[in-house]
Structure formats: structure tokens, C-alpha cells
Amino acid sequence: MRTPATDRSRHRVLVVEDDDTIGRHLQTGLRSNAYAVTWSRTGIAALTEAAHSPYDVLLLDLGLPDMDGLDIARALRTRHPDLLIIILTARTDDIDVIAGLDAGADDYLVKPFSLTVLLARLRAHLRRRAATSPPQDPIRLADLVLDTTARRCLLHEEEVPLRPKEFDLLAVLAQHTGEAIPRETLMAEVWDENWFGSTKTLDVTMASLRRRLTQAATASTQHARLPRITTLRGHGYRLER
């Protein structure tokens, strides 16, 4: 399934690599693990791309035809302090590793590297970033208030009891109110980035989430209004305020 450029629920990765085989390998591997990937083959192309679109992760080869990757790391670190920069390099000397980290990289992998190790490092870095990101304001949806920092779901001040996955599912939809979220993205965000199994779990969790919200609204003495969760057949779901 193609990922629309506006799909903000996936992590966006800019791959900068002039080697066709490695670039294609990275692109395929990352896409099948629910990352949104753009691949630039030159330094200039990468800088242009990064200036026009926001990225979460930069996977950077150092030996590029037009520029030294270290200069790209320095430039993008200054402009985008939150960007996760991982250097992919065939240079193994300590001095090169130190230069890479000093240029602003968060991590490095020596070629040839294994895709599974790269994916594990990405998960670890992104998890740490999510844990240290500032608390988010509660999201108000009709009469429902979703506080992802406190992990509370309130309807007219009354707690709606949700199971952890039901809460996570509602949180992903709420953070992208009005957007169509593909099933694959929900599976990746709520369950596991490496999920390849049945997506029946998603339907079961969605059904129980809807049931719990409806029960809470019915029990409310103040005629509480709920946000609408629309099923998009063959695609996914969309939450509307």
C-alpha cells in the first residue's frame, strides 16, 4: 500500500545513499516495517529534500559523490535539533566514528550492517525520544477528553475504563483527527512495528473500544456526545470530532 505524503503517523526516514543496492535494500526493508521512506542519492538532493519536508530520521552514508556526509550531518543538526541522525559508513577507524558523532550524529553503523540490527537501533532511539518528549495537552473530541500523558479518557469528567490497547488505538486516531489512517499503520503503531500477522486483532479491539465508548455515553446523565469513528472499507479508520 502506498503511503500518502501527509501520513504523519509513520516515522519519516530520509535515506542518503549513493549505492543502488544498499539504497534499495534500505528502502524496501524500512517500508515493510511501516516507515515512510525517501531516498536521496546525492548530498545536494538530501539537503534540498530536508529543507522542504520534515523528517524524523536521517540515515546517512558518508562517502557521497558530491559532498562529505559529515558536512550534511553538521548542516542538518544545526537546522533540525530533533532529527535522529544515524551514520552508515564503511569507515571503521575510531577517528571517523568520533568525527561522525562530533558532527551531530546520534549513532552509527559500520557497513556491511544487518537490517534487523538497524531496525532495532531505530526502535530504541525512537522509543527513548518518545519517552523524553514534553507532555502533550489533552485532546478534546466532542464531550470526550483524552489525556495521553496521564493515560486517562474522560467523558464529562467521568473516567471511561479502557484497556491499554483500546486506549492506544483511540490515541493514535485522536492524534490524527480527520485523517484516514491505514490499517497497517494502526497495527504498527499500536501493536508492533514488525507485525505481519492477521489484522483481526485490530477489528476486535476497535469493536470493544466502540462498545465501551457507547456504554459510557449511554450511562452519562448529560447526553454526552462522542467523536465518530468511521470505518473506511479496505483502508482503515478515521476519527471525526
Interface mask toward Ca ion for 63-92; x: CB under 5 A:
x-----------------------------
Kindly state the smallest distance separating residue 21's Cβ from Ca ion, in Å.
11
Whose Cβ is closer to Ca ion: residue 69's or residue 227's?
Answer: 69
> Does residue 18 bind Ca ion (CB under 5 A)?
yes
Kindly state the smallest distance separating residue 90's Cβ from Ca ion, in Å.
8
Helix axes 200-219, 183-190, angle to 10 degrees: 80
Kindly state the smallest distance separating residue 15's Cβ from Ca ion, in Å.
12
Kindly state the smallest distance separating residue 65's Cβ from Ca ion, in Å.
8
> Does residue 168 bind Ca ion (CB under 5 A)?
no
Dihedral in degrees, nearest 10, Cα atoms 53, 138, 186, 164: 150
Kindly state the smallest distance separating residue 26's Cβ from Ca ion, in Å.
12
> Does residue 56 bind Ca ion (CB under 5 A)?
no
Whose Cβ is closer to Ca ion: residue 87's or residue 216's?
Answer: 87
Whose Cβ is closer to Ca ion: residue 59's or residue 181's?
Answer: 59
Please give the full DSSP string across the chain, using - where no structure is assigned: -PPPTT-TTSPEEEEE---HHHHHHHHHHHHTTT-EEEEESSHHHHHHHHHHS--SEEEEESB-SSSBHHHHHHHHHHH-TT-EEEEEES--SHHHHHHHHHTT-SEEEESS--HHHHHHHHHHHHHHHHHHSPPPPPEEETTEEEETTTTEEEETTEE----HHHHHHHHHHHHTTTSEEEHHHHHHHHT-TT--S-SHHHHHHHHHHHHHHHHHHHH-TT-----EEEEETTTEEEEE-
Whose Cβ is closer to Ca ion: residue 16's or residue 50's?
Answer: 16
Residue nearest Ca ion, CB atom distance: 63
> Does residue 96 bind Ca ion (CB under 5 A)?
no
Whose Cβ is closer to Ca ion: residue 71's or residue 179's?
Answer: 71
Kindly state the smallest distance separating residue 229's Cβ from Ca ion, in Å.
46
Kindly indicate which of the ranges 61-69, 107-115, 152-160, 198-206 contains the residues binding Ca ion, using the contact rule CB under 5 A: 61-69
> Does residue 61 bind Ca ion (CB under 5 A)?
yes
Nearest Cα to 122, choosing from 80, 86, 97, 72?
Answer: 86
Whose Cβ is closer to Ca ion: residue 63's or residue 138's?
Answer: 63
Residue 147 neighbours by CB distance under 10 Å: 15
Contacts to Ca ion by CB under 5 A: 18, 61, 63
